[in-house]
Amino acid sequence: MSTAPFIAFERVQKLYGEGAGLVRALAGVDLAIGRGEFVAIMGPSGSGKSTAMNILGCLDTPTGGRYLFAGADVTSLGRDERALLRRNFLGFVFQGYNLLARTTAVENIELPLIYRGTPRLERRERAIEALHLVGLKGREHHTPAQLSGGQQQRVAIARAIVTDPLVLLADEPTGNLDTARSHEIMELLTRLNDERGLTVIMVTHEPDMAAFACRTIRFVDGHIESDTLREAA
């Protein structure tokens, strides 16, 4: 039985510029993440955490090293193949929600299924199921303007999971929310991780949000400075 990690960086580098202007956003990073983990990625501005997230999400490619996803060498894939990996296996949640303003909650959630060519009735059923899963039953026909910030982020999470991805990548998912709504979103992510086995990788600058994760990785100057597991309660 293979013991290979679900997600791995092997000496991953990302360089920008050249000569005196050379920037090593990632300077040979080794990283392994198991399936079903909830990982928080932290670090100051310019530490490499966002670059790492972009590579994990197949939104960028390394300059050197290898990125392995479920046994596949992502660094050997072409642009179209990376797009398919993104579409089929990854879900994304952002700080700014990124919802279509004049579109209802359930229609926003349907969007990834439209790109997949899912039949209309099936995608509506799956979108409603995802909306209920994030606690917004009865909000199907509300537009973003009719929802609070926390509710909009729940819609965004429902949109990210409606395709049943293997990994949810969350970039500062509580950055625009107050403390109470932030804790609600983190509790939702924790439940999705616990009950559905969803692998969650989250970038955050807030230690109290990172505390919800089972593991915290801190980047500094393109390197991993620390990688710690949460102590059992």
Q: What would the mean pLDDT of 12-26 be, rounded to a whole number?
A: 89
The closest alpha carbon to 53, from 210, 204, 230, belongs to: 204
Domains of the chain in start order, with CATH, are: 35-61+84-215 (3.40.50.300)
Q: What is the CA radius of gyration of the chain?
A: 18
pLDDT at 129 over 80: yes
Q: Is the dihedral of CA 84, 85, 86, 88 positive or negative?
A: positive
State which amino acid sits at residue 82. R
Task: Please give the model's pTM, rounded to 2 decimal places.
Answer: 0.93
Of all residues in the chain, the percent with pLDDT exceeding 90 is 88
List pLDDT tens digits, range 29-77.
Answer: 999 999 999 999 999 999 999 999 999 999 999 999 999 999 899 999 9
Contact between residue 41 and residue 52 where contact means Cβ atoms under 8 Å apart: yes
Q: How many CB atoms lie within 10 A of CB 61?
A: 15
